[in-house]
Chain A
């Protein structure tokens, strides 16, 4: 159990200033990064679709987002007559605040060493501190908490609009978020088991020492893929953007929002993309780990970190340009019938392999008993799925049953 060295012992005025400084930097960085992300996405998707994209405001159109943001401020703020005014005004803040909170646990720099609690620190104003806003003992659970509160923003926005398409969009969105949160959480469990700690700082420290000590086998195969898919769904990014399927729902949960309130949802969405990319780098790719040149150990870890994040941002945009949207039943089937069982199974298999490696269990009986259990469970699961499919078919076949 370590914790930030800044907050150990007595806390003086400088410590408070350092914390405030870190909070301010993180806040400013996220806002600027979001602006960049919007531009990056528009420009990249234009290239992929053989168009030019934003090119008027500033060099390469890089100030386009700033122009759009300013425009949002000066637009009329409409509120439908049927809207529940209090909740209508509250919902955008719930989205934005949770988007900021989750980033607080991401370590963005510092040189880490496994098993050394003083590693990963940098010097700020003469104080040793972690380069992350907070390192709470529950660590990565804060991400899950923030994403479960983010559901409220979407759900309440849709409900309080007093309009039918936003409500439908909101119900879809919250059902999707809740379904994929289970898979997301279990993928995180695999990382936590491998690293032996909930704290993001300890998770990164456990992966330090080159790419070979990233948990390729334990988390690199199945948990990473599951986490990536679940995160994409959680972010409502294509191909899981049923929440704002224009053809079906007008604009989804934020149809009735305009002006700066809409901009806040927009901001939260893109900010969450950045946060999720950063979390993926932290959990699966060693965070700020990477080779350091010229002894610049305060610079290169941070550069590596943002380089890795940029790769994920690119992949998210690539998804959007490439993949068509899923149908709603496909979405639910993927979440409940594929990702969650696969993740549960992987956790069992992984633990069994670890125990076998440590000579805690006898392999032959374990494999025999395990296979029998696996076969029985697979059979039960298949039977349940086919029963569900049959019931679905029966209910959806057109018949003249209504007459009888």
Chain B
């Protein structure tokens, strides 16, 4: 009962946020709506007893990633409500409508054909047992079971960061001759 109420409230918050992201005229408002969605999802994590994931969701997504979005929006000065010109991609609207229809069809099929609805109840498939803390379980899978995949992913991220720095860096002209001459 409580689970369902929590789920419904969170679902409303998430969906309002998600619609707000694309509907808001102002990019900063969009970013704030995104934060709202992330919070809704964090509460859903808590409802599933995934406390650690909920905290990380807020710290990493809301606390770091959206803050970076806001940084970019503010510093690039695109924070004015602009009438974004749609339709720069040819056939974009048609394709979007097509995909939307397909997605809705899939959702509708699932609603009609899955006999037991499990919306808002606790996960049945996991190994969470309310005794071992979340962190221990996560650490076991990340640093024990899937340690190579984890390490490879982290290397990939480091490579991506360094690549971004190298590519975006503008080298000042290294005209040592003229610099020495001017001295």
Tell me the A residues contacting B by CB distance below 8 Å: 1, 84, 86-87, 90, 136-138, 141-142, 144-145, 148-149, 151-152, 155-156, 159-160, 167, 170-171, 174-175, 178, 181, 197-198, 391, 394-395, 399-401, 404
Contacts and interface: CB of A to CB of B under 8 A. Distances in A.
Contacts of A145: 55, 58-59, 62-63
B179 A148 contact: no
B54 A400 contact: no
B175 A174 contact: no
Contact of A148 (B28, B63, B71, B134): B63
B62 A400 contact: no
A198 B53 CA distance: 13
A394 B131 contact: no
Given A141-B52, A148-B63, A171-B71, A395 B172 contact: yes
B13 interface: no
Given A148-B63, A151-B63, A394 B172 contact: yes
Contact of B58 (A148, A395, A399): A148
Given A149-B63, A404-B175, A174 B71 contact: yes
19 contacts: A1-B130, A86-B29, A87-B28, A90-B32, A137-B52, A138-B54, A141-B55, A142-B55, A144-B55, A144-B59, A145-B55, A148-B67, A152-B35, A155-B67, A170-B74, A174-B67, A198-B135, A399-B179, A399-B182
Contacts of A395: 172
Contact of B51 (A138, A155, A400): A138
B37 to A, nearest CB: 15
Interface string B49-75: 001101110110011100100110011
Contact of A155 (B64, B70, B133): B70
B132 interface: yes
Contacts of A399: 179, 182
A160 B32 CA distance: 13
A84 B63 contact: no
A171 B74 contact: yes
Contacts, number: 87
B60 to A, nearest CB: 9
Contact of A84 (B28, B58, B178): B28
A175 B71 CA distance: 9
A149 B74 contact: no
B162 to A, nearest CB: 11
B178 to A, nearest CB: 7
Contact of A151 (B29, B67, B134): B67
A327 to B, nearest CB: 21
A144 B62 CA distance: 12
A1 B178 CA distance: 69
B17 to A, nearest CB: 14
Interface of B is mostly: helix
In the complex, which range does the number of interface residues on chain B fall in?
Answer: 20 to 34
Contacts of A141: 52, 55-56, 59
Contact of B79 (A137, A144, A152, A159): A159
A395 B169 CA distance: 13
A148 B59 contact: yes
Indicate the member of B29, B59, B172 with the most A CB atoms within 10 Å.
B59
Contacts of B48: none
A86 B135 CA distance: 38
Contact of A87 (B29, B75, B130): B29
Nearest to B52: A138
Contact of A1 (B55, B62, B75, B133): B133
Interface string B25-57: 010110010010000000000000001101110
B74 A167 contact: yes
B87 interface: no
A66 to B, nearest CB: 34
Nearest to A185: B59
A167 B130 CA distance: 46
Contacts of A151: 63, 67
B91 interface: no
Contact of A404 (B26, B28, B178): B178
Most chain-B Cβ atoms within 10 A of its Cβ — which of A148, A175, A399, A401?
Answer: A148
B173 interface: yes
A86 B28 CA distance: 11
A141 B53 CA distance: 11
A136 B62 contact: no
A159 B58 contact: no
Contacts of B70: 155-156, 159, 174
A152 B172 CA distance: 35
Given A1-B133, A137-B133, A145-B59, A171 B75 contact: yes
Nearest to A394: B172
A388 B58 CA distance: 33
A151 B178 CA distance: 46
B129 to A, nearest CB: 10
A340 B54 CA distance: 25
A114 B131 CA distance: 19
